[in-house]
Structure 1
Amino acid sequence: MSLKAVLFDMDGVIVDTEPLHKKAYYQMFSELEIEVSEDLYASFTGASTKRVCETLIRKYNLSHTHEGLTDIKRTYFKDYFYNDEDFDLIPGVRELMKHYHENGIKLIVASSASMVTIKMVFEKFGIEKYFSGKISGADLKESKPHPEIFLLAAQMANEPNENCMVIEDSTNGILAAHKANIFCAAYKSLHSKKQDYALANIVVSDYSELELDKISGYFK
């Protein structure tokens, strides 16, 4: 086995849209007049907006459809996406993408975010050129921690699972990679609170630790 493809999660790995999502969600909660605890909010990490909205509808007995809630949240999110001054790529990730790309490694994004959001990020930061494919979990039947998204990403890269590596930052994403039987590098950021890295193959807090010469021992 040798490393041929890297499957990137997006949120918390390429960009940190979590603070933007959080602001957007809490704006929505306020509009709906519901109280959502920090613990409940933390449990949503890595889940699709659809799944979060379905959970809220059930828990708070809301009369909205999940599509209706998604529209409210998306409007707030877009506003933050284009206007929040702190929003940028995660430090070191552009260099890592470039490094893999120049070394002939295929890159696929496999994110729970909607395809609309994935495209917004790719366009805003000009990273399209590094990737050979993108998959949105919002278009799939199953959500992480189900392995479907990573199994499809490996197929899209046209590589066996043992030649792939997933980069993830959430408990659900790491579990999905583990279930897919794909090597998983967990990126531990300042923002990844209450996430469990036990099932990751390696844990890093700086992307330079994932350069090919540093991880070659894992892919013989």
Structure 2
Amino acid sequence: MKAVIFDMDGVIVDSEAFHIKIKMQTLQEYGIEAQAKDCVPYAGRSSKAFFTDFVKKSKKNIAIEEIVARKHTLTTEYIQSGKEIKPVAGAIELIKELYAHKIPLALASSSVRTNIETFLKKFGVYECFSVVLSGAELPESKPNPAIYLQAAEKLGFKPEDCAVIEDAHAGVVAAKRAGNYCIAFNNPFYENCMADLSAADMMVDSLLELSAEQIKQL
């Protein structure tokens, strides 16, 4: 592989649990009840996609832009509250190793750009990425392949020359539809949810299993 494209939530940032908590809090503020298990299938997808489906099912007259904005406000408040948010084990080390080996890196996340930049800067890897894309700025989120096609184009490589690291079903599907080589991180957060990562070309239980040399030889 000539380049690597990272997802963020669940791959770089150990954030899936608090994202679900905030989504549920947002829904409750608008009078929509939901359980954590209802949110899990939307991992890797945009907030717009998530809230569009839940508002539609509730049959409530709620503007999608409004409820999405409220979720982003609550997320920002959570991040700024000082509560500890950790990187996924091995993620930062892998990013820095790939960067040291001069392997071009892109970030392709469904999160809003402000959150992406906040986390990458917090963990000291923002400068490692030559391309940073937010799916929230695209018409459709994963599993639509647009974000991965755009990432490869901006990196200057064919999709098949780029390895994508993903942890969610929607992300794996998006990567394969784009023509990327996909490495699936079997995130323990989804252990009881049976996330379907079977479409990936390779699966690891920890990012500590990966190295720059190994990825170059794929």
Tell me how large the CA RMSD over aligned residues is.
1.5
Distance (Å, rounded) in 1 between the aligned partners of 2:112 and 2:3 = 22
Mean CA deviation greater in 65-74 or 150-159: 65-74
**Residues 125-164 of structure 1 aligned to structure 2 (within 5 Å):** 125-164=123-162
Aligned to 1:4: 2
1:63 Cα deviation from its structure 2 partner: 1.7
Q: Deviations over 1:161-212 (max 9, x none)?
A: 2221000000000011111111000011211333111111111122232213
Aligned to 1:36: 34
Q: Give the direction of change, closer, same or farther, for the CA distance of 1:77–1:207 in structure 2 (3 Å limit).
A: same
One-letter amino acid of the structure 1 residue matched with residue 209 of structure 2: E
Distance (Å, rounded) in 2 between the aligned partners of 1:112 and 1:97 = 19
1:124 Cα deviation from its structure 2 partner: 2.0
**Residues 175-214 of structure 1 aligned to structure 2 (within 5 Å):** 175-192=173-190, 193-214=193-214
Given that 2:24 and 2:35 are in contact with CA atoms closer than 8 Å, whether structure 1 keeps it comes out as no
After superposing on structure 2, the runs of 4+ consecutive aligned residues of structure 1 that deviate more than 6 Å are none
TM-score normalised by L of structure 1: 0.92
Q: Deviations over 1:21-72 (max 9, x none)?
A: 1121121122122221344212211110111121122111122211110122
**Identity between Structure 1 and Structure 2 (%):** 34
TM-score normalised by L of structure 2: 0.93
1:217 Cα deviation from its structure 2 partner: 4.7
Distance (Å, rounded) in 1 between the aligned partners of 2:162 and 2:217 = 14
Distance (Å, rounded) in 2 between the aligned partners of 1:123 and 1:180 = 28
- Does the residue aligned with 1:191 lie in a helix, a strand or coil? helix
Aligned to 1:25: 23
Distance (Å, rounded) in 1 between the aligned partners of 2:46 and 2:204 = 25
Report whether the alignment pairs 1:96 with 2:94. Answer: yes
Mean CA deviation greater in 159-168 or 27-36: 27-36
- Does the residue aligned with 2:25 lie in a helix, a strand or coil? helix
Which of 170, 173, 185 is residue 171 of structure 2 equivalent to? Answer: 173
Q: Deviations over 1:127-165 (max 9, x none)?
A: 111110111111111211111110100001101122210
Mean CA deviation greater in 194-203 or 73-82: 73-82
Mean CA deviation greater in 133-142 or 22-31: 22-31
One-letter amino acid of the structure 2 residue matched with residue 51 of structure 1: A
Q: Deviations over 1:97-148 (max 9, x none)?
A: 1110011101100011111211121222221111101111111112111111
Aligned to 1:57: 55
Given that 1:92 and 1:206 are in contact with CA atoms closer than 8 Å, whether structure 2 keeps it comes out as yes
One-letter amino acid of the structure 2 residue matched with residue 44 of structure 1: Y
Distance (Å, rounded) in 2 between the aligned partners of 1:171 and 1:112 = 13
